[in-house]
């Protein structure tokens, strides 16, 4: 192996030294206690260099869990077959966006509970050549005939069945337009290479444990729609087993149509007609014009500094970026590193910060094309300082003591994430969704495609919580062609202006704090991405007034928090982060272990180069 490859493997921040020899390197290792240097594998070559480098570890061996390691790119998704499609595209010379587009279509087949054609999402792209980060908004929109009180019944109560499980639940789907737009702008390989793997998987797919489990578990939910039952379940009514085969010929045809017509079939042609005929037959309001006029939008990402790192995240209509930045800004006022990970102090301070962030969310956040959001103020360091000054370890604030924008000066369960990085350092961080697991549960006849229930992300009535317990008001009220407010938080992080980290998760309202917990674990507590992922999570969203702790959170610490006055509840683990990291040319990947079937896999050239 040549010298410059080795230098890559050492951390850039390593001190230069003239000393050479394994003793010297082992000395450094001993000093760092049980940290072991990945680059030790290449010690002899390092020593032949004129100026040796005292290497810092890329991976500390102080954790019980390590990520996957590779040298030429990494793909982390919720479903192993989709991950393999991404890896295959990178191997064929595709870039991160090519792989993302292929993964996006593949997940629509292999992860029907969240992967989708009938939903929407957000994609963050880092382009290594221009060093630019862009955010693609392909969130669903309300149909043109939608209106503020459309989900209120005669008694002016929210009709939850209508918001969540009917053809009215669906926003105009954005996924197909979004994936095609990402490809148009950044793609390198022809579209057919990116859609064909999904067509193949739809034609014939062996049932995995994870897919069988999720379909069997949700059979009752899906049985509201006869077509969902016919599409996703066996004709004899028996349960799915591992090793069975599922055939999705209608979905394969829709995908082939998209490929052949560059999306026109979906928004204007064959598939569009099927979607609208069905929705109309059920009395719904979406029209051919709604589909034909749908466009994704490139938006400027939100940017925040944290030490040497710059975090890029999704601006509105996601609330994710704003509140992630807000939380990070607030927490930087406290000595969290010294206090330690998940100690009573750290959890308390984060919890109080979360109350302020979610209170602001309820009032100010909505579709930026419709409402004026005080973004600059919300993400400003000064505003965070003011909030921080109201937070103290001595007091637990009641939710009623916190109200939206209190210190802001006047001015007018299912989603899925994937993270991909290619050998050149281009990155894609994408979260997309049908909203609930299997969306509305309604499959459009003749398409094999499930409709989202994203309209429930609007505030159907001020003060009435949505499916995730979130409150909202005017800013997120329903309007024609408006995008419902989202919590999806795909992030990209650069370190010293170089690609470093990307992550994202499902989890409804908890997505923002899942990503926050992870970034704190990485940036403050210096964990590897595997440890940062599996560490027990905490969440508070102002209302309901409860500090949610994951099972596995230390009981003694929970006791201290309870004694302080926090209203604590333990919950089953939540979220599913899909993360990749790059350090000095080495790629790390990790798929959350909270749900089955996920896979982080890289392209590894080490074996070949060693020959």
Gyration radius of the chain's alpha carbons = 24
Is residue 25 part of the contact set for ligand DON (CB under 6 A)?
Answer: no
Tokens at 610, concatenated: 């060693």
C-alpha to C-alpha distance for 120 and 7, rounded to whole angstroms: 42
C-alpha to C-alpha distance for 245 and 241, rounded to whole angstroms: 9
Between residues 360 and 454, which has the closer beta carbon with respect to ligand DON? 454
Of the candidates 598, 444, 609, 606, which has an alpha carbon nearest to the alpha carbon of residue 83? Answer: 598
Q: What burial class does residue 436 get, using C-beta atoms within 10 Å of its C-beta: 0-12 exposed, 13-18 middle, 19+ buried?
A: buried
Is residue 104 part of the contact set for ligand DON (CB under 6 A)?
Answer: no
| Range in contact with ligand DON (rule: CB under 6 A) among 84-92, 372-380, 412-420, 587-595 | 412-420
| Range in contact with ligand DON (rule: CB under 6 A) among 52-60, 279-287, 502-510, 601-609 | 502-510
Q: Which of 257, 368, 404, 413 binds ligand DON (CB under 6 A)?
A: 413
C-alpha to C-alpha distance for 35 and 11, rounded to whole angstroms: 14
Question: If binding means CB under 6 A, how many residues of this protein chain bind ligand DON?
Answer: 14
Instruction: Give me the least distance between CB of 425 and ligand DON, in Å please.
Output: 28
| Range in contact with ligand DON (rule: CB under 6 A) among 151-159, 371-379, 484-492, 527-535 | 484-492
Q: Which of 169, 433, 521, 528 binds ligand DON (CB under 6 A)?
A: 433
C-alpha to C-alpha distance for 426 and 94, rounded to whole angstroms: 11
| Range in contact with ligand DON (rule: CB under 6 A) among 227-235, 377-385, 501-509, 582-590 | 501-509
Instruction: Give me the least distance between CB of 163 and ligand DON, in Å please.
Output: 12
Is residue 488 part of the contact set for ligand DON (CB under 6 A)?
Answer: yes
| Range in contact with ligand DON (rule: CB under 6 A) among 369-377, 393-401, 409-417, 581-589 | 409-417
Q: What are phi and psi of 548, to 5 degrees?
A: -85, 130
Between residues 173 and 499, which has the closer beta carbon with respect to ligand DON? 173
324 to 383, contacts with ligand DON by CB under 6 A?
none
Tokens at 64, concatenated: 């019980």
Could you confirm whether 415 is annotated as catalytic? yes
Between residues 60 and 431, which has the closer beta carbon with respect to ligand DON? 431
Count of all residues that appear for the chain in the document: 611
Could you tell me the CA-to-CA distances from 407 to 330, 402, 512 in Å, in that order?
Answer: 13, 10, 21
Instruction: Give me the least distance between CB of 463 and ligand DON, in Å please.
Output: 19
Tokens at 598, concatenated: 């996920």
C-alpha to C-alpha distance for 361 and 325, rounded to whole angstroms: 13
Q: Which residue in this structure is represented by tokens 């905490």? A: 538
Of the candidates 178, 141, 234, 203, which has an alpha carbon nearest to the alpha carbon of residue 452? Answer: 141
Instruction: Give me the least distance between CB of 312 and ligand DON, in Å please.
Output: 19
C-alpha to C-alpha distance for 386 and 407, rounded to whole angstroms: 7
Between residues 413 and 446, which has the closer beta carbon with respect to ligand DON? 413
Between residues 81 and 595, which has the closer beta carbon with respect to ligand DON? 595
Between residues 404 and 413, which has the closer beta carbon with respect to ligand DON? 413
Is residue 116 part of the contact set for ligand DON (CB under 6 A)?
Answer: no
Is residue 506 part of the contact set for ligand DON (CB under 6 A)?
Answer: yes
Tokens at 272, concatenated: 């569009």
Is residue 514 part of the contact set for ligand DON (CB under 6 A)?
Answer: no
Between residues 231 and 541, which has the closer beta carbon with respect to ligand DON? 541
DSSP states of 49-74 as a string? SSS-B-PPPSS-S-SS---EEESSEE
Between residues 574 and 587, which has the closer beta carbon with respect to ligand DON? 574
Is residue 486 part of the contact set for ligand DON (CB under 6 A)?
Answer: yes
Is residue 503 part of the contact set for ligand DON (CB under 6 A)?
Answer: no
Q: Which of 57, 197, 296, 507 binds ligand DON (CB under 6 A)?
A: 507
Catalytic residue among 163, 415, 503, 513: 415
Q: Which of 73, 143, 508, 589 binds ligand DON (CB under 6 A)?
A: 508
User: In 57-72, which positions are buried (b, 16+ CB within 10 angstroms) versus exposed (e)?
Assistant: bbbbeeeeeebbbbbb
Between residues 486 and 503, which has the closer beta carbon with respect to ligand DON? 486
* Sequence-ordered strand ranges (E) for 536-603: 538-539, 547-550, 568-571, 578-583, 586-591, 599-602
Q: What are phi and psi of 137, to 5 degrees?
A: -100, 105
Instruction: Give me the least distance between CB of 47 and ligand DON, in Å please.
Output: 51
| Range in contact with ligand DON (rule: CB under 6 A) among 159-167, 227-235, 265-273, 410-418 | 410-418
Is residue 457 part of the contact set for ligand DON (CB under 6 A)?
Answer: yes
Instruction: Give me the least distance between CB of 138 and ligand DON, in Å please.
Output: 12
Tokens at 382, concatenated: 């000064």
Is residue 414 part of the contact set for ligand DON (CB under 6 A)?
Answer: yes
Is residue 71 part of the contact set for ligand DON (CB under 6 A)?
Answer: no
User: Is 329 within 8 Å of 304 (Cβ atoms)?
Assistant: yes
For residue 152, list its beta bridge partners: 158
User: Is 101 within 8 Å of 179 (Cβ atoms)?
Assistant: yes
Is residue 163 part of the contact set for ligand DON (CB under 6 A)?
Answer: no
Is residue 554 part of the contact set for ligand DON (CB under 6 A)?
Answer: no
Instruction: Give me the least distance between CB of 454 and ligand DON, in Å please.
Output: 6
Residue 560 parent element (H or E): helix 555-564
Tokens at 11, concatenated: 């951390």
527: left (phi over 0), alpha (psi -120 to 50) or beta: beta
236 Cβ contact partners less than 8 Å away, ≥ 6 residues apart = none
Alpha helices in 299-400 (DSSP H): 320-331, 336-339, 344-364, 375-378, 381-389
Is residue 415 part of the contact set for ligand DON (CB under 6 A)?
Answer: yes
Between residues 90 and 450, which has the closer beta carbon with respect to ligand DON? 450
Q: Hey, is 416 helix, strand or coil?
A: strand
| Range in contact with ligand DON (rule: CB under 6 A) among 196-204, 259-267, 378-386, 505-513 | 505-513
C-alpha to C-alpha distance for 91 and 593, rounded to whole angstroms: 26
Q: 320-331 and 511-523 helices cross at what angle (nearest 10)?
A: 40
Is residue 435 part of the contact set for ligand DON (CB under 6 A)?
Answer: yes
| Range in contact with ligand DON (rule: CB under 6 A) among 78-86, 238-246, 330-338, 413-421 | 413-421
Is residue 579 part of the contact set for ligand DON (CB under 6 A)?
Answer: no
Between residues 84 and 417, which has the closer beta carbon with respect to ligand DON? 417
Name the residues that contact ligand DON, by CB under 6 A: 413-415, 433, 435, 454, 457, 486-488, 506-508, 511
Write out the catalytic residue numbers.
Answer: 415
């Amino acid at each position: 192996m040549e010298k410059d490859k080795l230098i890559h493997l050492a951390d850039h921040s390593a001190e230069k030294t003239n000393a050479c020899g394994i003793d010297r390197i082992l000395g450094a290792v001993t000093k760092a206690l049980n940290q072991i240097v990945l680059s030790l594998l290449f010690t002899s070559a390092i020593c032949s260099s004129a100026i040796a480098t005292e290497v810092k570890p890329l991976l500390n061996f102080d954790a019980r869990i390590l990520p996957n390691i590779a040298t030429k790119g990494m793909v982390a998704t919720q479903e192993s077959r989709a991950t393999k499609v991404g890896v295959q595209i990178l191997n064929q010379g595709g870039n991160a966006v090519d792989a993302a587009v292929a993964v996006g279509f593949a997940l629509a087949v292999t992860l029907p509970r969240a992967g989708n054609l009938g939903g929407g999402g957000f994609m963050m792209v880092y382009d290594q050549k221009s060093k630019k980060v862009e955010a693609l908004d392909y969130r669903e929109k309300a149909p043109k005939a939608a209106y503020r009180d459309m989900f209120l019944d005669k008694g002016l109560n929210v009709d939850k069945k209508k918001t969540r499980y009917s053809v009215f639940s669906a926003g105009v789907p954005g996924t197909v337009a979004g994936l095609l737009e990402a490809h148009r702008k950044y793609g390198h390989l022809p579209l057919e290479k990116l859609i064909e793997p999904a067509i193949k998987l739809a034609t014939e797919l062996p049932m995995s444990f994870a897919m069988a489990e999720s379909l069997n578990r949700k059979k009752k939910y899906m049985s509201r729609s006869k077509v969902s039952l016919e599409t996703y379940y066996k004709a004899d009514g028996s349960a799915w087993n591992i090793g069975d085969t599922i055939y999705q010929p209608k979905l394969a045809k829709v995908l082939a149509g998209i490929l052949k017509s560059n999306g026109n079939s979906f928004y204007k042609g064959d598939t569009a007609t099927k979607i609208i005929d069905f929705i109309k037959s059920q009395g719904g309001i979406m029209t051919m014009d709604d589909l034909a006029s749908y466009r994704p939008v490139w938006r400027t990402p939100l940017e925040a500094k944290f030490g040497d790192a710059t975090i890029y995240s999704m601006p509105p209509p996601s609330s994710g970026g704003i509140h992630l930045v807000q939380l990070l800004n607030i927490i930087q006022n406290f000595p969290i590193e010294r206090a330690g990970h998940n100690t009573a102090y750290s959890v308390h301070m984060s919890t109080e910060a979360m109350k302020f962030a979610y209170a602001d969310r309820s009032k100010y956040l909505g579709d930026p094309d419709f409402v004026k959001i005080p973004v600059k103020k919300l993400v400003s360091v000064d505003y965070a300082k003011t909030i921080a000054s109201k937070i103290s370890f001595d007091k637990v604030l009641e939710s009623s003591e916190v109200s939206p924008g209190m210190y802001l000066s006047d001015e007018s369960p299912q989603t899925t994430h994937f993270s991909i990085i290619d050998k050149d350092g281009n990155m894609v961080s994408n979260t997309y969704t049908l909203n609930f697991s299997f969306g509305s549960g309604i499959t459009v006849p003749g398409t094999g495609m499930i409709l989202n229930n994203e309209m429930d992300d609007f505030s159907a009535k001020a003060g009435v919580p949505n499916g995730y317990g979130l409150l909202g008001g005017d800013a997120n009220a329903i309007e024609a062609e408006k995008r419902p407010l989202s919590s999806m938080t795909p992030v990209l992080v650069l370190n010293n202006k170089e690609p470093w980290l990307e992550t994202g998760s499902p989890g409804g309202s908890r997505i923002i704090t899942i990503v926050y917990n992870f970034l704190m674990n990485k940036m403050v507590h210096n964990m590897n991405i595997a440890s940062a992922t599996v560490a027990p999570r905490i969440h508070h969203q102002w209302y309901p007034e409860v500090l949610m702790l994951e099972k596995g959170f230390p009981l003694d610490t929970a006791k201290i928090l309870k004694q302080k006055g926090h209203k604590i509840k333990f919950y089953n683990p939540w979220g599913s982060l899909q993360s990749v990291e790059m350090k000095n040319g080495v790629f790390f990947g990790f798929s959350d272990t909270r749900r089955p079937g996920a896979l982080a896999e890289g392209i590894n050239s080490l074996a070949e180069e060693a020959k």
